Structure 1
Amino acid sequence: MLASTALLLAAGCSAPPSPEVTFYSSGRTVNVQPTQYCDLESENCAIDTRAAGVLRVPPGKPVQISVGGTIAKSAWSVKFTYRDARGEQQEPLRSKLFTNAEPQYAYTLELPNADDQLESVEVQQFGKRVQIDETGQIQFVARGTWVLSVDDRAKS
């Protein structure tokens, strides 16, 4: 009896699993664990650089992103990098900031032009911590980051 009670207590005290993000494009799906996940103060972080996902995304195709309630009911956004039709790197862009006031469970990332090639996507969940950047602007500090690298090779 004592051993089973200790086992139940130990199971109840374990950390909940890190939230997962699902990326979908062109008939393929990949589920991604966070490459960084911290407490609400954006401290005490667990880092796993191998957690990044890879997905083939043809030029101009959207990527659908699904998040669970832990992320949807917090402050989060999507940051992405891409190249134009000439292959020139463009400035990274960011979605609007989603907040717990209106939980957002999904987002469709569409590039500015039909010939653009997506390179990478980061879902960033923000914690309580903010900092002031060199221009005096308030910046939220990411608590969690889910990374998708894009495979842009032509289908063989």
Structure 2
Amino acid sequence: MRRVLIPASLLVLAGCAAAPTAPEVTFYADGKTINVKPSQYCDLQSENCDVAPDAVGVLRVRPGKPVQISVPGDLAESAWSVKFTYRNAKGEQQEPLRSKLFTERDPKYAYTLVLPSTDDQLESVEVQQYGARIEASTTGAFDFVARATWILSIDDRSH
């Protein structure tokens, strides 16, 4: 019994020390795979966060190519979505887009991000897991607050 209690108390003392137990998200594109740790990982109230600004994955992705995203069970069985930024063929920054919201009612373990046009260049991908906290936005709508984020930065240099 003590062996179970000691690690649990250490986690509380370390401010949830999520780094060793935080789930990883897998990104796959152009024949390469990368596992990414969360850059932010909080409790269900989106408080008591561990932040790891260097926890960013990088993959080379050619224009118009999809990115496949795989998430572990505890993420798949919660509320989450994918936000991404991209440029059009002329190099013009486009408004960030977001996937639909996935929820525990219909768990989603994988998502394929396909850009609007085959000439678009992906710039970044952010998987966001939502917690229990909701905040009012400036428009009067309500937004879920992200409790965890996994970031993929796109290397778009010519191959």
Please give the range of the TM-score, normalised by the shorter of the 2 chains: over 0.9
3-state DSSP of counterpart to 2:75: helix
What is the aligned residue count? Answer: 151
The match for 1:111 is 115
Q: Which residue of 2 aligns with 1:44?
A: 48
How far, CA to CA, are the matches of 1:52 and 1:83 in structure 2? 20
Question: Does 2:83 match 1:87?
Answer: no
Structure 1 runs not aligned, ≥5 long: none
Moved over 6 A (4+): none
Question: What aligned pairs does 1:6-155 form with structure 2 within 5 A after superposition?
Answer: 6-7=2-3, 9-11=5-7, 15=11, 17-155=21-159
Which whole-Å CA distance do the structure 2 matches of 1:60 and 1:133 have between them? 33
Alpha-carbon shift at residue 12 of structure 1 (Å):
5.6
Deviation at 1:11, TM superposition (A): 3.8
Name the Cα RMSD after superposition: 1.4
Instruction: Provide the C-alpha distance between the structure 1 equivalents of 2:4 and 2:102, rounded to a whole number of angstroms.
Output: 37
- Residues of 1 paired with 2:48 and 2:29: CA distance? 33
Deviations 1:83-105 (A, max 9, x none): 00000000000000000001000
Q: Look at both structures and tell me which one has the larger radius of gyration over its CA atoms.
A: 1
* TM value normalised by structure 1: 0.92
SS in 1 for 2:54: helix
d(CA) in 2 for partners of 1:26 and 1:10?
44
Aligned-pair identity (%): 64
Q: 1:9 deviation in Å?
A: 3.9
Give how far 1:10 is off.
2.3
CA–CA separation in structure 2 for the residues paired with 1:38 and 1:11: 18
SS in 2 for 1:50: coil
Structure 1 counterpart of 2:150, which letter? W
TM-score between the two structures when normalised by the length of structure 2: 0.91
Aligned-partner residue type, residue 147 of structure 1: I
Alignment gaps of 5+ in structure 2: 12-17
